[in-house]
Amino acid sequence: MKYVIITGANGGIGKAVSDYLLKKNYSVIALDISKEERKEKENYKYFQVDITKDEDLKKVRDYLDKEKIEVFAIINLAGIFMLDSIIEGSEEKLRKIIEVNFFGMYKVNRAFFNYLVQNGRIINMASEVARHTPQPFMAYYTMSKKMVDTYSDVLRRECNYLGIKVIKLYSGSMKTGMLGNAKDEYERMIKETKYFKKPLTKLKGMMDKEVNKTNDPLLVAKVIEKALTKRRPRLSYKIKNSLALSMMGSFNERFQDYIYKKVIN
C-alpha cells in the first residue's frame, strides 16, 4: 500500500482528495491546522499541525520513524486566501500569506523529503493565478502562488537527478470556503478603502458572477490520482482555468492595463 501525505486535508479540496485516494487504496497521512471532524479509520492518520512550525512537523516525522513508513507522495494543498490593495493593505497580511502558502510548502517538502521512495511524487498546488498576469487587488495571493510556481520548477529540476517527480497544479475556482472569503474580503475593502471604492465595487459584482461558475473539488482529486499513477506524469496540470483570464493574458501588458482601467473603472 502506498502512503501519501496531504496538507490542508480538512479544506474543501484537501478533504475531497483524501476521501478519493482512500477509495483508491492509498494510505493517507492527513495534515491540517484545524481540528479533525472525521473519525480516524484504517489507512487514515490525522495530525493537527501548523505547517509553518518545525516542531509540529517533527511530530509527524516521529510517527513516520516509529512506524517505519516510506512515503510515495507529498501533496501540498494547504493555503490561505487574502485580497487587498498593495497600497492600502498591511505588510503583516502579506507576510502571513507568503508564510503559509510558500514557506509552509517549502518546510513540508524539506521535512518529509527523506521519507520519499524512489520514483516518488511531490505535488504542489500553484493555482491558476500563478500562470496568469496579476489582477488588481489580488497581489497578496498572486505573489505567494507565483513564488510556489518558481519554487516548483527549480525543485523539479533538482529532483530530476534523484528520481523524484515534481508536479504543479493550476487549479481554477472550486467550491470551497475560499469563495466565501473572497466575498467577505471585497465587502471589507469597499468599506475601508480611501482610493478604490468604484473599481472594487465593480470587481465584486464580477466576482459574484464567477462564483456561479465554480467546480467540484473532486475534479482536482481525479487529476491528482492520475498524476500519482502515470509512469510519466505531466509537469503541470490545468484544472478548469478561467477562459477570461487566459484571454487577458494573450494581450500585451499595455492593453491589459487599458482594459482594467476602462472596463473595471
In a domain, 254, yes or no: no
Angle separating helix axes 218-229 and 12-23, nearest 10 degrees: 50
Q: What are 181-238's pLDDT values in tens digits?
A: 888 899 999 999 999 999 999 988 887 776 667 899 999 999 999 999 999 999 999 9
CA distance 27 to 30: 10
In a domain, 163, yes or no: yes
Total domains, the chain: 1
The boundaries of the domain holding residue 8 are 3-177+215-249
CATH no. for residue 17? 3.40.50.720
In a domain, 207, yes or no: no
pTM of the model: 0.95
Q: Do the Cβ atoms of 202 and 196 come closer than 8 Å? A: no
Q: What are 116-136's pLDDT values in tens digits?
A: 999 999 999 999 999 998 999
